[in-house]
Amino acid sequence: MRPIDDAVCPASSFSAAEREAVYHAIMTRRDVRSQFQPDSLPDDLVTRLLTAAHHAPSVGFMQPWNFILVRNAEVRARVRDAFVKANEEAALMFEGERRQAYRSLKLEGIVEAPLGICVTCDPTRSGSVVLGRTHNPRMDSYSTVCAVQNLWLAARAEGVGIGWVSIFREGDLKEILGIPDHIEVVAWLCAGFVDRLYEEPELAVKGWRQRVALEELVFHDGWGQQGR
């Protein structure tokens, strides 16, 4: 085994062009519902996306995630049905015009996208006491979300659109995919090639909600302190 100090190596900042590429992925990433092309994603590309996800930070290095790749159209149709049921329940939670606006939005591309990726979190992955999770039991699912975001940004660079669908009864997804009780479903991702994306988040373009000014969200040294 090499001495530990040897494992620390020079890590410079990126060139301007490289930095720009990272920001370009971050700023142009979209939650895609309608622009998916039907072509299936090559296996090596999917492996690159999953490798990116697998290199997310995880609490205590527990790597609590699993990835269920769903290409089977029949399975995706059942998942879509589970969405439709939950989405009708969701619509009824909104009132008046807002309900109408909600119903006019297309919120998923489960069947159109050639690949579904169910991302799960196994809280038992490395025993009951986990370094870094001792005081915040949600840290394992937070690690799993970091994996989702890594995958999403890698996908943008590959010309692949991702849509995160969260309108399900978790039990329905578990039943369809045979997921054990103790596993948490974190995300259903629709994945497929795209060559067009919204310039701004679709919900902003469609008037649902606008971007908040960053300055309003930043405080200094304590909550609510906006001057510096």
Q: By CB under 8 A, what part of segment 136-195 binds a second copy? A: 136, 138-139, 141-142, 145-146, 148-150, 152-154, 156-160, 164, 166-170, 177-180, 183, 186-187, 194-195
CA-to-CA distance for 69 and 192, rounded, in angstroms? 12
| Closer residue to a second copy in complex, CB, 14/38 | 14
Site for a second copy (CB under 8 A): how many residues? 120
Chain positions 205 to 224 lying near a second copy, rule: CB under 8 A, are: 205-206, 208-212, 214, 217-224
Q: CA-CA-CA-CA torsion for 75, 79, 80, 86, nearest 10 degrees?
A: 160
**How far apart, in whole angstroms, are the C-alpha atoms of residue 169 and residue 176?**
11
Q: Which of residues 92-111 bind a second copy (CB under 8 A)?
A: 93-94, 102, 105, 107
**Is residue 172 within a helix (H) or strand (E), and if so which, with residue range?**
helix 170-177
Binding mask 30-69 for a second copy (x = CB under 8 A): xx---x-----------xx-xxx-xxxx-xxxxx-xxxxx
Is 74 strand, coil or helix? Answer: helix
- Please report how the helices 139-157 and 16-28 are oriented relative to each other, as an axis angle in degrees rounded to 10: 110
CB 126, min distance to a second copy, A: 6
Q: 11, 97, 181, 182: which one contacts a second copy (CB under 8 A)? A: 11
Q: Is the dihedral of CA 31, 37, 38, 44 positive or negative?
A: negative
Length of the chain: 228
Residue 145: CB minimum distance to a second copy, A: 4
